[in-house]
Amino acid sequence: MLPPKIEEALNSQLNAELFSAYLYMSMAAYFESLNLTGFGNWMKVQTQEELFHAQKFFDHINARGGRVIMQAMEKPETDWESTLAVFEFTYKHEQKVTSLINDLVELARTEKDNATYNFLQWFVSEQVEEEASADAVLQKLKLVGDFGPGIFMIDQEMGQRVFTPPTAGV
């Protein structure tokens, strides 16, 4: 049985994961409006990852006898000053999600919910990857600045990203 505090917190995180997907889709739309389809692709892949994360929370809540309660979402940002600004925002957002996951881990420990604690360890590792991925693009953008050909080259690279769901049992 899922402890009530844990159920509430996991539902909040499910909502946060769905919001992240919504935010990244908004970023994809922004990039595509600028004909930066590679960056748009990167954000679409990020959207798929966030939806995968949300599904994992959904399934865990249900598997533990809890009840998923969908919540309202706020409107995501839709405009940014530059490609660099988008990735600065992305990196900060991933740091915020890492903080949320860390809070969940601490709650699971406090509530002595070892099953949820164990479940969350995948997300702890995943957030290391999420932050590193966003930061890698951010650092490239800092290097090229507003240099158009550099942005074009990075856009081409971002177009190669694909979503590969983790293997079963993860």
DSSP characters over 94-116: HHHHHHHHHHHHHHHHHTT-HHH
In a domain, 114, yes or no: yes
* Amino acid in the structure at residue 148: G
Give the chain's domain count.
1
Q: Would the pTM of this model clear 0.85, i.e. be above it?
A: yes
Distance CA 14, CA 57 (A): 6
Q: What is the pLDDT of residues 26-83, one digit of tens each?
A: 999 999 999 999 999 999 999 999 999 999 999 999 999 999 999 999 999 999 999 9
Domain presence at residue 49: yes
pLDDT top residue among 147 and 62: 62
CATH number of the domain where residue 99 is located = 1.20.1260.10
Per-residue model confidence (pLDDT) at position 166: 82
The answer to whether position 133 is within a domain reads: yes
**Contact criterion met (CB below 8 Å) for 95 and 55:** no
Q: Shortest CA distance to 108 belongs to which of 96, 116, 100?
A: 116
Please give the structure tokens belonging to residue 27. Answer: 């970023």
Q: Is residue 132 included in any domain, yes or no? A: yes
Q: Is residue 100 part of a domain?
A: yes
Q: Is residue 167 a part of any domain in this protein?
A: no
On the question of pLDDT at 111 being above 80, the answer is yes
| Helices 37-63 + 4-33 axis angle, to 10 | 170
**Position 145 in a domain:** yes
Note the pLDDT tens digit of each residue in 114-139.
Answer: 999 999 999 999 999 999 999 999 99
Indicate if the pLDDT at residue 170 is higher than 80: no
User: Is 108 domain-assigned?
Assistant: yes
Tokens 């009840």, residue located: 67
Domain that holds residue 114: 4-72+81-158
